[in-house]
Amino acid sequence: MRFWGKVLPLAAAAAFLAVGPVAAQQTGTVTGTVVDATSSRTLESAQVFIPAILQGALTNTQGRFIMLNVPVGTHEIQVQLIGYGEGTQQITVTAGQTTTIEFRLESTALRLQELVVTGVAGATPKVKLPFTVESVDFTDMPVPAPSADGLIAGKVPGAKVVKGSGQPGSDSGIMLRGPTTITGTQSPLIIVDGVITDNTLADISSLDVQSIEVVKGAAAASLYGSRAQNGVVQIRTRRGAGLSIDQSRITVRNEYGRSSLEGSTPFSTEHPYATDAQGNILNSDGSVVDIRFFYDANTGEVCNPTLDPTNSACAPPNPVLAGGVPGKTFQDSPYPYPTYDQVERFFDPGAFYSGYVAAEGRTGSTNYRASFTHQNETGVVDLNDGFKLNGFRLNLDHQIRDDLNVSLSSYYSRSRQDDLGGSPFYNLAFMASFADLQVRDPATANVGPCGDEGCFIWRPDPLSQEENPLYRLDLIDLQDTRQRFLASATVNFAPTSWFELEGQFSLDQSDFFENNVFPAGLV
């Protein structure tokens, strides 16, 4: 009896250990993703379950799910998510193997509550936030803007996007709340793929943008500090996460356009000076004077101020007012010379071209997206090369294991802007309509910086202090070159459903080169 008393417990233990591996070999693993059927956007918090065995799981932030120890055989698996129709598929589980599936859900009339990642530790439903966040999804942008800052205009209530000038390549000013300072900046804090940046958004293509989230008011400063006192704009770019497994996609977009004047600016064709019976303008001494020219102060002959930049001899004419004094004079006499529409002659209908190509794909637990963009905008000012931009972006996500994800983002751009050196249209408002801007002075041919055809007339209106804007645009060269590199790396470790650890490294480097060429002899 003592012998069997010792043998039976050992036999029972051996039988238990033998059954364990056999049971493990009768189960498998089910994993997969849940995405939106229309936009291919991954869906978080979708409930995936097998009703027959009462086993289920929820999708994570990447729309992925996993169920372990699923009995072998054929099962019906279902997925449900508020705002989407129910999905059902038949799966066959093989012992010791992993079965991968994908659900593509169709949205219903009830829209899914938006998830927000700005200012929170993880993706949080919008209704649960203690502060206001406005969000814009790429599905709300059927017609993309030339740059990322243009996507906010008209999409976010209260947000104002204003360009400081109409010059091609100029960045826009973004104001999310009323003016809070006279001398300080009104710009919000910009975050691009986790990279906090103070640089412009003019060199980031709108076609790369996945979503934009905007935090306004004091909540922004409480989340990101004093730098965000004017608000926060967080931009996330596309990463190819919404594609099916082993699916790739290539996107090509080209856009061409031309600028045109919607209306005209009226210029006065009358003058206030005294005239004779033939309509000729009279000088202060009663003689006829042509106010289109300068005159030598010693000889009274017509002279050229371009050849006398010190104005030691050339002087403007001195016509007399018809009423004698400004208070009794009306500008009602037509010029005895041809008149011109200065804006129409100065305005050059420039062309705009943009080319964009992107390749994205998803293989297993890795998704990627690479894109290249090219922009060329000549602007509306003659003799100006406008703005050119080339940019390249590469985003990569990889799930090392179920609780460990790595995301890499990089962007490089190089742009060149032909600076105008001011506002040439401002000069036009102070020139008489008889001034012909497009005439070159033959007397200046091969003189100083002028070429064979001569320079544009420096001051076509002698009675105005403004110079011909074409004179400088023809001679000077103001080139602004900017290089920008953004990069970020994020590691997310979530060993349990209630604990998540995330680390991020980011870099934003911008180099600006200004090359200004002023030829010798410039007036």
Report how far residue 116's alpha carbon sits from residue 133's, in angstroms, rounded to the nearest whole number: 8
DSSP string, 465-496: SPPPHHHHHHH-EEEEEEEEEEEEEEEEEEEE
- Please compute the mean of the pLDDT values over residues 87-95 and round it to a whole number: 92
Token output for 82? 């508020």
Report how far residue 491's alpha carbon sits from residue 328's, in angstroms, rounded to the nearest whole number: 79
The answer as to whether 428 is a domain residue is yes
The domain that holds 59 is classified in CATH as 2.60.40.1120
Report how far residue 303's alpha carbon sits from residue 314's, in angstroms, rounded to the nearest whole number: 6
What's residue 410's pLDDT?
A: 95
What's residue 29's pLDDT?
A: 93
Residue 181 has pLDDT above 70, yes or no: no
Report how far residue 408's alpha carbon sits from residue 390's, in angstroms, rounded to the nearest whole number: 21
The answer to whether residues 319 and 356 belong to one domain is: no
Positive or negative torsion for Cα 435, 439, 440, 443:
negative
The answer to whether residues 181 and 148 belong to one domain is: yes
Report how far residue 485's alpha carbon sits from residue 70's, in angstroms, rounded to the nearest whole number: 47
Q: Quickly state the pLDDT bin for 404 (edges 50, 70, 90).
A: very high
The residue from 59, 79, 105 where one domain ends is 105
Taking only the tens place, the pLDDT of each residue in 114-155 is 555 555 545 555 545 545 677 777 766 667 777 777 777 777
Q: Quickly state the pLDDT bin for 366 (edges 50, 70, 90).
A: very high
Residues 6+ apart with CB under 8 A from 99: 28, 29, 30, 31, 91, 92, 93
Among the listed residues 79, 80, 81, 57, the one whose alpha carbon sits nearest the alpha carbon of residue 70? 57
The domain that holds 167 is classified in CATH as 2.170.130.10
3-class SS of residue 34? strand
Any idea which of 169-173, 443-447, 503-507 has the lowest mean pLDDT? 169-173
Residues 6+ apart with CB under 8 A from 254: 353, 354, 355, 356
What's residue 49's pLDDT?
A: 92
Among the listed residues 73, 195, 212, the one whose alpha carbon sits nearest the alpha carbon of residue 138? 212
Whole-number average pLDDT of the chain:
82
Residue 455: domain span: 243-255+339-523
The answer as to whether 212 is a domain residue is yes
The answer to whether residues 128 and 81 belong to one domain is: no
CB 364 within 8 A of CB 398: no
The answer as to whether 352 is a domain residue is yes
The residue from 105, 128, 145 where one domain ends is 105
pTM of the predicted structure, to 2 decimals = 0.69
- Please compute the mean of the pLDDT values over residues 452-473 and round it to a whole number: 87
The answer to whether residues 148 and 199 belong to one domain is: yes
The answer to whether residues 480 and 448 belong to one domain is: yes
The share of the chain scoring above pLDDT 90, in percent, equals 29
Any idea which of 67-76, 137-146, 406-415 has the lowest mean pLDDT? 137-146
Q: Quickly state the pLDDT bin for 18 (edges 50, 70, 90).
A: very low
The answer to whether residues 198 and 90 belong to one domain is: no
- Please compute the mean of the pLDDT values over residues 290-316 and round it to a whole number: 80
Higher-pLDDT residue of 250 and 12 is 250
The answer to whether residues 454 and 421 belong to one domain is: yes
Q: Quickly state the pLDDT bin for 183 (edges 50, 70, 90).
A: low
The answer to whether residues 429 and 300 belong to one domain is: no
The share of the chain scoring above pLDDT 70, in percent, equals 86
Q: Quickly state the pLDDT bin for 31 (edges 50, 70, 90).
A: very high
The answer as to whether 416 is a domain residue is yes
What's residue 14's pLDDT?
A: 41
- Please compute the mean of the pLDDT values over residues 304-314 and round it to a whole number: 72
H/E run at residue 27: strand 27-36
The answer to whether residues 390 and 508 belong to one domain is: yes
Report how far residue 430's alpha carbon sits from residue 467's, in angstroms, rounded to the nearest whole number: 10
The residue from 41, 70, 105 where one domain ends is 105
The answer to whether residues 435 and 376 belong to one domain is: yes
What count of other Cβ atoms lies within 10 Å of the Cβ of residue 97? 11
- Please compute the mean of the pLDDT values over residues 451-456 and round it to a whole number: 89
Question: Which residues are 388's β-sheet partners?
Answer: 376, 416
The answer to whether residues 141 and 280 belong to one domain is: no
Report how far residue 433's alpha carbon sits from residue 271's, in angstroms, rounded to the nearest whole number: 10
Report how far residue 417's alpha carbon sits from residue 165's, in angstroms, rounded to the nearest whole number: 13
Residue 22 has pLDDT above 50, yes or no: no
Instruction: Report how far Cα 27 is from the mean position of its chain's Cα atoms.
Output: 51
Residues 6+ apart with CB under 8 A from 201: 147, 148, 149, 171, 172, 190, 235
The tally of domains found in the chain comes to 4
The answer as to whether 86 is a domain residue is yes
Token output for 334? 């037509």
CB 91 within 8 A of CB 74: yes
CB 467 within 8 A of CB 459: yes
Taking only the tens place, the pLDDT of each residue in 324-358 is 887 788 888 999 999 988 887 777 888 889 999 99
The answer as to whether 110 is a domain residue is no
Residue 266, φ and ψ in degrees, nearest 5 = -70, 135
What's residue 388's pLDDT?
A: 93
The answer to whether residues 380 and 505 belong to one domain is: yes
The answer as to whether 158 is a domain residue is yes
Among the listed residues 259, 479, 480, the one whose alpha carbon sits nearest the alpha carbon of residue 352? 259
Where residue 63 falls (left for φ over 0; alpha for ψ -120 to 50; beta otherwise) is: left
User: Burial level of 49, CB count in 10 A (0-12/13-18/19+)?
Assistant: middle
Token output for 184? 């300080």
The answer as to whether 188 is a domain residue is yes
The stretches of 33-80 forming alpha helices (DSSP H) are none
Taking only the tens place, the pLDDT of each residue in 207-246 is 898 888 888 767 777 777 777 778 888 888 999 887 888 8
CB 417 within 8 A of CB 479: yes
First to last CA, the chain: 122
User: Burial level of 17, CB count in 10 A (0-12/13-18/19+)?
Assistant: exposed
